[in-house]
């Protein structure tokens, strides 16, 4: 059962139908119409929409960064890959803050890395390095994992821990 129409029509139908069925969901469609559907119909619709979205996505397979474990190098490679994927898949606004933050800390580290090793900058160095590690290992990794192709993951290669990219999952 699926009813499409204006909010007022849908609201009246939902009030009537809720007395009969309890697993109804009311949602707004992209075309501006409201829909009443059962939860199973909604799950089927979401699955179809997700599959359609996956068909039209841009993916990267393989290496993004190789041969380095320096935070500045990793943040540059990861933020560039995230910018490319988010722009190609029309999701840049969702990830722009992560990209900007990664680049801002990378630029700071490049500019002041030698000065941070002076004894009186010990606390500041610890804070900057911890923040940079958090940006790389949590923010960028999580964001890039969202762009992983089906049955793939983003991370280091099993045979080479300095080779970061999108790899086929062993869980298949």
pLDDT tens across 47-99, in order? 666 556 556 777 788 889 888 888 899 999 999 999 998 988 888 899 999 99
91: DSSP letter: -
Looking at 5-14, 78-87, 157-166, which range is the least confident one?
A: 5-14
Q: Measure CA 15 to chain center.
A: 37
Q: Is it the case that residue 31 has pLDDT exceeding 90?
A: no
Q: Is it the case that residue 101 has pLDDT exceeding 90?
A: yes
Residue 88, pLDDT score: 86
Q: Between 57 and 17, whose confidence is greater?
A: 57
Residues whose CB is less than 8 angstroms from the CB of residue 103 and which lie 6 or more positions away in sequence, other chains included: 75, 76, 79
Q: Is 50 exposed, middle or buried (0-12, 13-18, 19+ CB in 10 A)?
A: exposed
Residue 15, pLDDT score: 58
What average pLDDT does the segment 27-35 reach?
Answer: 64
Q: Is it the case that residue 39 has pLDDT exceeding 80?
A: no
- Work out the number of other CB atoms within 10 angstroms of the CB of residue 61: 11
Report d(CA 129, CA 37) in Å as an integer.
50
Closest of 159, 161, 155 to residue 142, by C-alpha = 155
Q: How confident is the model at residue 102 (pLDDT cuts 50, 70, 90)?
A: very high
């Amino acid at each position: 059962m699926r009813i499409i129409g204006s909010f007022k029509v849908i609201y009246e139908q939902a009030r009537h139908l809720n007395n009969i069925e309890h697993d109804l969901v009311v949602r707004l469609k992209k075309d501006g119409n409201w829909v009443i559907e059962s939860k199973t119909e909604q799950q089927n619709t979401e699955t179809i929409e997700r599959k359609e979205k996956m068909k039209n996505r841009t993916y990267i397979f393989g290496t993004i960064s190789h041969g380095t474990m320096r935070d500045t190098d990793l943040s540059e490679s990861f933020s560039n890959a995230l910018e490319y994927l988010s722009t190609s898949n029309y999701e840049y606004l969702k990830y722009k803050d992560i990209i900007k933050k990664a680049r801002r800390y990378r630029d700071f580290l490049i500019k002041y890395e030698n000065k941070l090793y002076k004894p009186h900058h010990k606390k500041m160095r610890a804070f900057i390095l911890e923040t940079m590690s958090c940006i790389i290992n949590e923010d960028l990794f999580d964001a890039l994992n969202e762009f992983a192709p089906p049955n793939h993951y983003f991370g280091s290669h099993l045979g080479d821990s300095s080779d970061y990219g999108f790899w086929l999952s062993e869980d298949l």
